[in-house]
A = this chain, B = another copy of it.
């Protein structure tokens, strides 16, 4: 870093120190590192400072101080995002506001099927706390032991239970947000139905901190599903998997909670990550489905799963299948799904996507995109898996083992362009659940319709006219003259 930049940063840090309680402030580069490096470890950055408020009022004070100093703010939860939405890209003028110390569960009301939690609560801790009261918060994703609920809201996180319970948006009853002018938007209601005009909380969900800082959330709870049936199924094709999904929606009514598609390569990758992982199905099928049906109360979930599988196997839609006989067996089935992710990471840098298309076009899309990749990059391998029920597929591309980093980077870039080109013909989304952040900003902007861009710009300028909230994330906005 140049000497004048260091001086400027030092002066800004001194000003922050003078204005805020020192307990809130981190300026040491080593201490800041974990906040400035992304989840995959692909990107490291830095910041003027990291602020760790303990209360909503602290956040408001931090916002006002930053505004006075001309600093912009990158809000951060558990820093588990996959699109660099919480990582500074202008280190000389950006401050990270980490919500990790605002981690109180303010209230759980099982009689009201609701809870109020602070933005810094770790997702799995919220899930555990409500489970003790026999309640359930259905948001479930790989990072749940590290991600924080404010980040889940700001990225409108998805995960494996979306097909039954919806994205984070559908689980939010209310929000508390510190706005760019330092005022506090208090919308922490737990009302299930409240139709008093425009629902303002919606604009902050999925905004990735570009309109304000989410400090607390009212969430919906459900009765804890004490019955879970998990099955791993072998099928003849992705087309059959989609047909199976449609039939499962009807046959299992609304009780299906997960339906994940995996290719045979998934097992190979999972074994690479977890060598002693038991493989519960013999044989090698072109397609696999990991399916979960769950519920509380009087419906016999195990029997429902057995009857469903009996029918679809008789009809030849499912060739082979196993239902977990214990929680351990169910856990092992999910380990295949998780190990598959880790196995990809072990093969080195690779191209990851997070795509959605209409369900009725999913199989065609995967076929076309994999074909296009194999033509453009004959030495790379495609691996497509994901939340089929939501039309959400992670079509990833792995360069061959031992590819030099710069060659891998070139292949990753080519693969992304090839896949996105096919996707554009399917009216699909380049971000089904991960958000835009900084990683997908260019691809997002490139596909943005003028009317949508105009509305987003108007909204940004109305709420954050000085463009201080997470600049560089989602869109580059023009400064108001």
Contacts and interface: CB of A to CB of B under 8 A. Distances in A.
Nearest to A475: B197
Contacts of A249: 113, 222-223
Contacts of A185: 451-452, 455
A253 B296 contact: yes
A27 interface: no
A205 B200 contact: no
Question: Chain B CB within 10 Å — which of A202, A308, A436 has the most?
Answer: A202
A95 interface: no
A206 interface: yes
Interface residues of A, number: 97
A143 interface: no
A238 B313 CA distance: 48
Given A199-B202, A206-B197, A299 B297 contact: no
Interface string A188-204: 01111111111110110
A120 interface: no
Oligomer copy total:
2
A225 B211 CA distance: 41
Contacts of A223: 249-250, 253
A195 B206 contact: yes
A379 to B, nearest CB: 32
A427 interface: yes
Nearest to A307: B298
A358 interface: yes
A360 B253 CA distance: 29
Given A112-B358, A253-B299, A297-B253, A156 B435 contact: no
B308 A456 contact: no
A356 interface: yes
Contacts of A461: 462
A184 interface: yes
Given A253-B255, A431-B196, A356 B184 contact: no
A204 B193 CA distance: 17
A183 B359 contact: no
Nearest to A135: B250
Nearest to A387: B193
B111 A452 contact: no
A195 B167 contact: yes
A56 B193 CA distance: 31
Interface string A247-268: 0011111110000000000000
Nearest to A428: B191
A158 B427 contact: no
Given A250-B297, A297-B250, A461-B462, A357 B191 contact: yes
Interface of A: 109, 111-114, 155-156, 158, 162-164, 166-167, 169-170, 179, 183-187, 189-200, 202-203, 205-208, 210-211, 222-223, 225, 246, 249-255, 295-299, 304, 307-308, 311, 356-361, 387, 389-392, 427-436, 444, 449-452, 454-456, 458-459, 461-463, 474-475
